[in-house]
Structure 1
């Protein structure tokens, strides 16, 4: 009967010589016979066991379970062996299904994070002023993401209005709402495809925080903050319908639109 040196066994099974020695040390392979010169020699039965171990490990089956499968292998009937393989496969499929579910959850989180990153990509808001920066701020709804909460402004918007906006203005935790900013609002005008809101200069921090939160929340709507003289200006860009709705978020009758 022909026997193989370890290099030949490695080429025949697709395993490295180091891996074959490791499997032998773990009892997955009977101790190799030795030639007169002391070299390991492997027969066809050894190669079949090695291929079994290689395939099982490729499928993610733990070494301990592979070792159980090998017990009494060549003295077993094909039927008995098939039953053992079937039971092992059923357990492994359960493990794989659990990992798939976990990975799908991670993928959903990544998709949501990617959408928020895209929405905030054009923001000029300083990270130092942002109340809910991606991955950094634990504000609920997942790690480092803002989560909508009820607000008095949100309650004033009906479902059809929210569908036009594609977001809920002022619904971010730990950030100012339009109600909070209303007392500092001086003027609000819609011109040139933008809603321009002018606030007292003293409200600059609150306006920046509000704009930063909305940049994360409302994809497709632009929120830019600038300072001019004694005022801080929030310029909102969006569709005409969106701007008309956003303008109503500040309950201030004397504002001229």
Structure 2
């Protein structure tokens, strides 16, 4: 079956200009043209373009997508899938790191906002003026309450999805969870969250317990359960439904 470019755009979910751009940069070969001069796409073209759109929507750069397209045309599906998994793993680490940086930035901005709100209502700016401090030091014994997600229509008494960890510690905490998660031998979906399983080792038991206790202290909406069996550590992480994205970002998702 043949399709015109407008039909392909609707089926693939991208504008026709994007399809032309893919041709211009060599991401796809130019389709055949009918007797009327219009581009003519077949079912294989549709499948290839859907693959390109899907991988691009994962945030994979077009240069890497181009490599995947070559593999798509030459290799078997399992080989292509393996390459996609590797690229997704890189994007996941980058995204989780960015989450930590954004939460830390949100904490700094909230501190700045609170300090500026306490500025004198009259008089000129000068030495010690809060306007001159773009990123002031945290006030003693005060932690910033950083919202992590919003849920329209959430009941007033629902747990608040927020973190009170000080801004400078957020990226390090995210990195700690990433390091721990990399050691998991299995992930399993559970009601309200995810379970991570590890090969038991005394130092790992201590690390899991330490991180879970530290995280629950600043993010009280999390519920952690650590189970020890012969040769195995099982960490169960649960949170309210409207915090599912936070759980996935911090602890990963089960396949």
Aligned equivalent of 2:114: 115
Matches within 5 A, 1:35-54: 35-54=34-53
- Seen in structure 2, the aligned counterparts of structure 1 residues 118 and 83 have a Cα distance that, compared at 3 Å, is same
- Contact 2:58 2:88 (8 Å CA) reproduced: no
- Seen in structure 2, the aligned counterparts of structure 1 residues 127 and 61 have a Cα distance that, compared at 3 Å, is farther
For 1:133 and 1:59, how far apart are their aligned partners in 2? Answer: 42
For 2:67 and 2:135, how far apart are their aligned partners in 1? Answer: 45
- Contact 1:132 1:145 (8 Å CA) reproduced: no
Aligned equivalent of 1:67: 66
Aligned equivalent of 1:102: 101
C-alpha distance after superposition, 1:177-215 (max 9, x if no partner): xxxxxxxxxxxxxxxxxxxxxxxxxxxxxxxxxxxxxxx
- Seen in structure 2, the aligned counterparts of structure 1 residues 108 and 41 have a Cα distance that, compared at 3 Å, is same
TM-superposed deviation, 1:144: 5.3
TM-superposed deviation, 1:60: 1.4
- Contact 1:133 1:144 (8 Å CA) reproduced: no
- Seen in structure 2, the aligned counterparts of structure 1 residues 3 and 127 have a Cα distance that, compared at 3 Å, is farther
Matches within 5 A, 1:237-252: none
TM-superposed deviation, 1:133: 2.9
Bigger radius of gyration among the two: 1
For 1:17 and 1:54, how far apart are their aligned partners in 2? Answer: 13
C-alpha distance after superposition, 1:70-92 (max 9, x if no partner): 11313322211111111111111
- Seen in structure 2, the aligned counterparts of structure 1 residues 117 and 42 have a Cα distance that, compared at 3 Å, is same
- Seen in structure 2, the aligned counterparts of structure 1 residues 104 and 145 have a Cα distance that, compared at 3 Å, is same
TM-superposed deviation, 1:146: 6.5
TM-superposed deviation, 1:45: 1.6
What secondary structure sits across from 1:74 in the alignment?
helix
For 2:23 and 2:62, how far apart are their aligned partners in 1? Answer: 12
Matches within 5 A, 1:194-213: none
- Contact 2:115 2:130 (8 Å CA) reproduced: no
- Contact 1:69 1:84 (8 Å CA) reproduced: yes
* Count of residue pairs the alignment pairs up: 142
1:128 aligns with 2:125: yes
- Give the TM-score taking structure 1 as reference length: 0.50
- Contact 2:31 2:39 (8 Å CA) reproduced: yes
- Seen in structure 2, the aligned counterparts of structure 1 residues 133 and 13 have a Cα distance that, compared at 3 Å, is same
For 1:133 and 1:55, how far apart are their aligned partners in 2? Answer: 47
- Contact 2:111 2:136 (8 Å CA) reproduced: no
- Give the TM-score taking structure 2 as reference length: 0.50
CA RMSD, 1 decimal: 2.4
- Contact 1:7 1:17 (8 Å CA) reproduced: yes
- Contact 1:132 1:144 (8 Å CA) reproduced: no
Aligned equivalent of 1:85: 84
For 2:138 and 2:38, how far apart are their aligned partners in 1? Answer: 66
Structure 2: runs of 5 or more not aligned: 143-255
Matches within 5 A, 1:174-213: none
